[in-house]
Chain A
Amino acid sequence: MQVLYGRHHVRVFRFGLRLVRDEQVAEDLISEVFLDVWRQAGKFEGRSAVSTWLLAITRFKALSALRRRKDGELDDEAANAIEDTSDDPEVAVQKKDTSVALRKCLTALSPEHREIVDLVYYHEKSVEEVAEIVGIPENTVKTRLFYARKKLADLLTAAGIERGWP
């Protein structure tokens, strides 16, 4: 278990943190995820990579944690996200720093779009693996990432940054 934890806990933590946006909750999340793995180890059939299995459990736990939050807190979070998109990229543009603005806009994407961008780019998951983790058809995985990227482009355009696409 220590080896498994050592190999995967940082990525599991980061995936969870991007979804729940709270370090404390994300840390609690990884304890829960690996405890579940410990309890269900016998059920793992080896048909997918261990990391795919872990990320699927993490996603489920993260969504449950988000659901446990009160509606008011969710509204606050949504408001903060909107604030992110309007204010911070402007500051970034003043600094003429596309890189900073891009990161701010990546943070401002909806949870649905954030998770698919992270799974493909950071966790390097294939179409099939993302479909397994998120629980959607492979074609939906492809189109969802396409529209996440379009949304990202819209946010950047709103912040005054044109990148030549779309």
Chain B
Amino acid sequence: MMAASKKMLDQEPSEIELLLPWHAAGTLNARDARRVDEALAHDPELARQYAVIREEYAETIALNESLGAPSARAMAKLFAAIDGEPARGPSVSLNFSARIAEFFAGLSPRTLAWSASLGALALLLQAGVIGAVLMKNQTSSFQTASLSTNAPITRDLGAAGTPPYALVRFAPEARIADITALLDSYQATVTDGAKGGMFRLQFGNRAMSKDEVAGLMSRLQREKLVSLAVAAP
């Protein structure tokens, strides 16, 4: 084994050696992963190279994560372009539905198509329930900052600039209790919704830099309960 990894420095790399990056990323199939594990256990040179690869792997992720997220302009441009697309069917809405149905049917087996339909139904129900809660229960955690009577006055006095806003769509399976906890953890309040299933959220009471907002959107986007989050003006 050791001979195999030493050989690669001045000759062609071995098959196992070529697979190391995928092993670090966890994308090898079970058979290859086992082969690499066995080789690593017996070849210190290979193990040393693997440690270097792990470092490269971590830094590549960190580098990409530092790139932030696109602005809302990209999304606005996209949907404006889609709106401008010529209608090819009997009506625009029918054309839209047909394309969406065709697209998701192509993604996966029939069972997943059924799941998608159920998910869409659940999303509509969820939007209705949250809307009802917002309308009826002013003391819930969806209450807007401006309506809060319990908020300490120093919070408003200390606020500087406009806090960040985002348009957020929650996952169809998200429960109200989960959404409430999520809003609390981000110090977020719902300021408008649910238009087209999207809620407008305000985050805290202070202005944030572009990088901070990008980081916030990125973090939010990774939440399981969130299916879409974009910064909003």
Specify which chain B residues have a CB less than 8 angstroms from the CB of A103 in the assembled complex.
59, 62-63
**Cα distance A2–B229 in the bound complex, in angstroms:** 10
**A121-B60 contact given A14-B67, A27-B71, CB 8 Å threshold:** yes
Stretch at the interface among A38-46, A59-67, A73-81: A38-46
Contact of A13 among B13, B60, B70, B79 (CB under 8 A): B70
**Cα distance A22–B29 in the bound complex, in angstroms:** 36
- Tell me the count of chain B residues lying within 8 A, CB to CB, of chain A: 55
Specify which chain B residues have a CB less than 8 angstroms from the CB of A7 in the assembled complex.
227-228
* B18 contacts the other chain (CB 8 A): yes
Most buried by B among A34, A107, A118: A34
**A163-B67 contact given A103-B62, A143-B13, CB 8 Å threshold:** no
**Cα distance A165–B25 in the bound complex, in angstroms:** 19
**A146-B229 contact given A5-B78, A127-B22, CB 8 Å threshold:** no
Per DSSP, chain A at the interface is: helix
Specify which chain A residues have a CB less than 8 angstroms from the CB of B17 in the assembled complex.
146
* A93 contacts the other chain (CB 8 A): no
* A102 contacts the other chain (CB 8 A): yes
Q: Are A120 and B48 within 8 A (Cβ)?
A: no
By beta carbon, the residue of chain B nearest A142 is B18
By beta carbon, the residue of chain A nearest B119 is A3
Specify which chain B residues have a CB less than 8 angstroms from the CB of A110 in the assembled complex.
none
* B182 contacts the other chain (CB 8 A): no
Specify which chain A residues have a CB less than 8 angstroms from the CB of B56 in the assembled complex.
102, 106, 117, 121, 149, 152
1/0 per residue, CB under 8 A from A, across B190-233: the answer is 00000000000000000000000000011001000011111000
Specify which chain A residues have a CB less than 8 angstroms from the CB of B59 in the assembled complex.
99, 102-103, 106
- Interface residues of A, Cβ cutoff 8 Å to B: 1-3, 5-7, 9-10, 13-14, 17-18, 26-28, 30-31, 34-35, 38-39, 41-42, 44-46, 50, 98-99, 102-103, 106-107, 117-118, 120-122, 124-127, 142-143, 145-146, 149, 152-153, 163-166
- Interface residues of B, Cβ cutoff 8 Å to A: 9, 13, 17-19, 21-22, 24-28, 48-49, 51-53, 55-57, 59-64, 67, 69-71, 73-75, 77-79, 81-82, 85, 99-100, 102-103, 106-108, 169, 217-218, 221, 226-230
